Amino acid sequence: MPTKPAGTLYRGREGMWSWVGHRITGVVIFFFLLVHVLDTSLVRVSPEAYTAVIGAYKNPLMALGETGLVAAIVFHAFNGLRIIAVDFWKKGAKYQRQMLWAVLALWVVTMLAFSIRHLSLSLGGH
């Protein structure tokens, strides 16, 4: 087993954890998308088949699932933009850590707004 190096550019700190998060969210979104294209394709089977399957997305437990999915996408999207900035912006590598905090702050704000709206629409009323 290699011993732990005393801090490198990538290992062990914010840079590594943001990479782990980016990788996991990427895979989650990918598998969702496979299923999502299949469920949407039911519009070619019959209107009732589609409406029945989409009905499953409207129950309260699924509302939490959708919120989790959107949380994954919003993190992947904002952190993806951070990766792009690190690669293409002259000072990107220098400010990568500050940009990660910006990503997390924006993520919290976006998710608060999204969750309030989505959960009150899907859990409230009707």
List contacts with other proteins (CB under 8 A): 7-9, 13, 23, 26-27, 29-30, 33-34, 37-38, 40-41, 43-44, 46-48, 50-51, 54, 57-58, 63, 66, 70, 73, 77, 80-81, 83-84, 87-88, 114, 117-118, 121-122, 126
**CA 45 remoteness from chain centre:** 30
Task: Give whole-number Cα distances, 73 to 1, 31, 33, 58, 59, in Å.
Answer: 35, 12, 11, 20, 21
4: tokens are 């732990």
For residue 2, the minimal CB distance to ligand HEM (Å) is 21
Asked whether position 49 contacts ligand HEM by CB under 6 A, the answer is no
